[in-house]
Structures are given as structure tokens and as C-alpha cells.
Chains A and B, each alone.
Chain A
């Protein structure tokens, strides 16, 4: 069991997302950086899809009430365990009473916005509609359907693994699978149904200029600012299903990229969709940073998804070799 010591604004329990509820209006939720969460789980020998804690605001402190193995992935946030510095993307064994502190994310090769705290056996909260992810809008899933607060306690699924794994690490995918344009993190985008409905100048600006992540960006959507995108004629759409990654353009012309808590349907025109393989890059872009978009094709987008899967499989293989762990899967 762990106890939250900080006023943990916006930290939530997330797994890889909730599937099968779109017909009831239930979006997927899930980790903004699913690679970081899956990698944290692999480091501990958990199922990739086990739940962890997504932390977007720092500092963040927890106390371990029992011995427990853990891993911190995602943003490199100068983690310490009772003042001892920890390596990012690595496993450690905490002893009962020890305090884990996550500080401000570091700059360096990759400045990211969110850290993931994974526990041996996964964070044990009830599975609601096939997932442990927090559904903030519906107020269910995660811990009581809400963000974590100071004094909350969470159970690890299998804290008994505590003495097994320590000091084993992975290289973050941002370094293994980098994608940048002019020094800005970049995401590949497939044009969507209304792409041709925008002026040539606006389409050009979308691909060739940097987009600033505004402070009105959160798990629901990233509101970007840049040159206003102008439709050739006003478009009033019928409501239709959408998915995380869809880039909507409200009449103001400033794009909104749907993120993991996005509504599962919408009616604003869609310029494109950040491909599933790259959405974690945007999920890790800090407020105030700039990002770029790269036009891609269906075949490239499918191949990119394959690279993600290959990275996870290779990570699992390396960890199995080094830890001698056996996974149930």
C-alpha cells in the first residue's frame, strides 16, 4: 500500500484504456503516454496493461506502507527514495516507510510533462466496464472516479515481489524512436475527412509552422495556438464518432487535438488525426512548448504502429533475459 503525501492535483490512476464502451458514450481514457506506462509495467513483470499512476504536476510524494517494487517512467523528474537519487525508467525496491519524491521534470535530451509510477502487480483499484482507468467525466474507474488527493491510499496488486527486481532499466522511446522537426517534437498526421475543406495557405501553415501548446491543454484535449486555420466555406457537421488524436478546428481556427479523455464523438470539422503511434509524443509535450506536424500515409502510419509494438516486444525480451522473470502472458 502507498499513501499520497502531496496535494496531487490532476494525478489519476490509468491503465491502457477502456475498450467497448463507445456505444454508451464512454470514451477510452487511459495513459496519455501508454508507452511509458507499458514499459513501467514490463520493468516490474506486470501485465503491460496493468494500472499505474499518471502524474502531471510536481513535486509528487508518496510513502510506501509496505515493502514494494516500483518503477518511475515517463518524464525524468529527479526521483528520490528517502533522498537517494534514482535512475529514470528503472525498477527499485522500496522498504516500508520509505518516501518517494518526484521533482520537476528535467530538461536535457527529452523534456516531458508526465511521469508514471508503476507498482508490482499494478495499482489495485476495481475494474469498471473492463478498465481501471479513471473516467473523470463519468466519475467512475480509478480511485472513486476522481483525481488523487493527499491522504489517499492505493494498494499494489503483488507487493510481495519487492525483493526481486532492482536497478534494471530501459532507454526511453523518445531516445530510441526520436521524431523532431527544427528541434520541436513532431507527430505524424493522417489527413481527415475535411482536410480539403481548408484553404491551401492554411494547409501549408499546418505542416510548416510550429504550434504552441496553450495552458488550456489537458487530458481532454490539447488546444494549440498558431496561424488561424481558415475553411474555404463554413462547415457544419453531423455528430460522428471521433478518437484520441483527431484534430478538430472550431470556427476560431485554432486546432484542438483530442487526447485520452476526449469525448467519443464530436461535430467540429477534422483537419487530420495524429496517428496512434505518435500520440504519446504529444501527451508528453509540456504546456508552453511547441510541436510540429508531419503529413503521413496509411502505410507509414501502420508501419509506425508496428515499430511501437516491436519496441515493447524487444524491451520485454531484454528484461526477461536480465531478470529471469516469467510472465503469465
Chain B
């Protein structure tokens, strides 16, 4: 949630979550990347994992004094300068609507736009990869036009296929493999985002960008 002040909370004794204040922006995400790079060097931190304008720290073992960790994170956040990461641009051909985009109608109904308007707004931006998460190789993208924002589904879908292009709240993304999802699937593409035998195993990393090219629109 957007607040005026950064928030700190715990996920059991396994991890802590730091959430940046204000609107979701690339500049704030670049500060999150800087914070992650610093926190990864702290001895109690197993992994510093950027999310969307937030950062999760998993623990090697839970710190005895949470307050000290929180204070250190807040101080480091105030100091953090945007970290520019040079990345690649990957173009993905997308078939919008039809059986590969079963929730297009829900996005149309929620936004009041036509299918063509949704496709136009979705395929125009260059989307920076903010973070990886959800499942192996999956990228969280910034830069979606807020006019096509659509709330997550009331009941998660038990399985959507790999390559599903979807919208969840103010975000968009492409599933890297079949699995459950609470997002609205509006199209499909074909790309191998993850291979455990590669180093690194994920195709994309924060700083890279995705462009969706309209291959076809099924109305």
C-alpha cells in the first residue's frame, strides 16, 4: 500500500519486509535495488529480495533485536541513491484475447475500455523489470498504464499456462510456467524464461526491459 512513511514488518521469524513510501516509481525501485545490494552484505541476511517498491530480507537466523535491524534499514533507505542497472530489451509477440486470454472480458468490464484500447495501452510502453518473484523466472514489471489496472480475482485460478500475459491490480506480467494465479489473463506469448542449468538460471534480471508486440487480437 502507498503510505507517507516507509513501513517495516515481519513475516514470522523467517523474514522482514520493508516497504517504500509514496507512489510506485522506477526511481524508488532503483533505490530499492541499492538497498538490496547493501543489505545483502549484512551477516544476519540470507537473501535480500526486491519486490515492487519493497524489499524482503530473509534471515540466516532471526535477529534477537528487531529494532536494531529496522533502524539500520530505515537509515540506509534515507541514504540510498537510485542504482542505475544497464539491461537488455526483450521483445515478446503476444496474442491478445481468445482462449489464451480468458479474462480479457473482465478487464474490459472493469476499465470500461474496448479490447482494442486495452491492447493498445498494454502494448505501448517499454516495461522495466523491477523484480523477479512468484515462480522461477517470473518478472514483475513497472510502467503499466493505470487506465488498464484491474483488481486481482476474488478467487485465484488453480492453473494458468506458461506464457500467460496478465494484469493484477496496477501491474502486468508474463507467467514463466503453468501454475495458480490470482491475476487476469489477457493474452499469451511463448518464451523460455528459466532454465536451471543456465547461469544465471533466469532469462531476465532487474534492469532489463520487456516490450509486448501485438501479434494478433482475438475479439
Q: Which residues from chain A sit less than 8 Å from chain B, CB to CB? A: 19-27, 128-129, 135, 137-141, 190, 192-193, 220, 235-246, 250-252, 263-268, 270, 273-277, 298, 301-302, 305
Sort A-B residue pairs by CB-CB distance and give the 7 closest, nearest first: A241-B56, A265-B133, A273-B12, A240-B51, A138-B136, A193-B9, A238-B52
Question: How far does the Cβ of A245 sit from chain B's closest Cβ, in whole Å?
Answer: 5
Extra A-B contacts (20), CB below 8 Å, given A21-B136, A137-B135, A245-B12: A22-B58, A23-B47, A25-B132, A25-B202, A137-B136, A138-B196, A193-B19, A236-B1, A238-B1, A238-B19, A238-B51, A238-B169, A239-B171, A241-B15, A250-B155, A252-B154, A263-B134, A265-B140, A266-B134, A302-B13
From B12, B49, B156, B177, contact of A246 by CB (8 A): B12
Of A23, A241, A252, most buried by chain B (CB within 10 Å of CB) is A241
Q: Which of B15, B46, B171, B177 contacts A138 (CB 8 A)?
A: B177
* A to B CB contacts below 8 Å, 26 in the list: A21-B201, A23-B47, A23-B132, A24-B194, A24-B201, A24-B202, A25-B138, A27-B135, A137-B135, A138-B177, A190-B10, A193-B17, A220-B180, A236-B152, A238-B24, A238-B54, A239-B51, A240-B17, A251-B151, A265-B56, A267-B182, A273-B11, A273-B14, A275-B12, A298-B62, A305-B13
- Shortest C-beta distance, B155 to chain A (Å), equals 6
Q: By the criterion CB–CB under 8 Å, are B47 and A22 in contact?
A: yes
In the complex, whether B179 has a CB less than 8 A from a CB of chain A is: yes
Interchain nearest-CB distance for B33 vs A (Å): 11
Q: Which residue of A lies closest to B14 (CB)?
A: A243
Expressed in whole angstroms, the Cα–Cα distance for A71 and B107 within the complex equals 53
CB contacts under 8 Å to A, within B49-85, are 49, 51-56, 58, 61-62, 64, 66
Most chain A beta-carbon contacts within 10 A, residue among B61, B135, B151: B135
The chain A residue sitting closest to B136, CB to CB, is A138
Residue from the list B134, B170, B176, B196 in contact with A129, Cβ < 8 A: B196
Tally the A-B contacts, defined by beta carbons under 8 Å.
175
- What is the CB-to-nearest-CB distance from B145 to chain A, in angstroms, rounded to a whole number? 16
Select A264's contact among B9, B64, B134, B182, beta carbons within 8 Å: B134
Q: In this assembly, does B101 line the interface, its C-beta being within 8 Å of a C-beta of chain A?
A: no
Name the residue of chain A whose CB is nearest to the CB of B149: A236
Q: Confirm or deny: B161 has a beta carbon within 8 angstroms of a beta carbon on chain A.
A: no
In the bound complex, CA of A264 to CA of B132 (Å): 9
Q: Which residues of B contact A251 (CB under 8 A)?
A: 151-152, 154
Complex: A252 Cα to B171 Cα, angstroms: 21
Cβ–Cβ < 8 Å partners of B133 in chain A: 22, 25, 239, 241, 263-265
B194 touches A244 (CB 8 A): no
Is A263 a contact partner of B135 (Cβ separation < 8 A)?
A: yes
Bound-complex Cα distance A21 to B47 (A): 9
Contact A298 B151 (CB under 8 A): no
- Note all chain B residues with C-beta closer than 8 A to A238: 1, 19, 24, 51-54, 169, 171
CB distance from B170 to the nearest CB of A (A): 8
Q: In whole angstroms, how far apart are the Cα atoms of A263 and B47 in the complex?
A: 16
What number of B residues sit within 8 Å (CB to CB) of A?
A: 54
The answer to whether A246 touches B11 (Cβ under 8 A) is: yes
Query: Which residues on B sit within 8 Å (CB–CB) of A274?
Result: 12
Beta-carbon contact of A265 and B51 below 8 Å = yes
B182, A250: Cβ atoms closer than 8 Å: yes
A127 to chain B, nearest CB (A): 11
The interface residues of chain A lying within 8 Å CB-to-CB of B196 are: 128-129, 135, 138, 140-141
Contacting residues, chain A, for B66 (C-beta < 8 A): 298
Cα distance A129–B46 when bound, in Å? 15
Docked pose: A190 CA to B196 CA in angstroms: 34
Chain A residues near B61 (CB, 8 Å)? 305
B156-172 CB contacts (< 8 Å) to partner A: 156, 168-171
CA distance A275 to B10 in the complex (A): 10
The complex places the Cα of A275 from the Cα of B62 at a distance, in Å, of 11
Contact B47 A19 (CB under 8 A): yes
In the complex, what distance in Å separates the CA atom of A265 from the CA atom of B135? 8
Docked CA distance A104–B49 (Å): 41
Contact with B12, one of A137, A235, A243, A250 (Cβ below 8 angstroms): A243
* B residues 1-49 touching A (CB-CB < 8 Å): 1, 7, 9-15, 17, 19, 24, 46-47, 49
Chain B residues closer than 8 Å to A237, beta-carbon distance: 1, 169
Most buried by A among B12, B137, B194: B12
- Which of B12, B17, B182 touches A268 (beta carbons < 8 Å)? B182
- A264 near B12 with CB under 8 A, answer no
Known A239-B133, A305-B62; contact A298-B154, beta-carbon cutoff 8 A: no
Q: Are B136 and A192 in contact (CB under 8 A)?
A: no
Q: Name the residue on B nearest A128 (C-beta).
A: B196
With a cutoff of 8 Å between Cβ atoms, the chain B residues found around residue A275 in the complex are 12-13
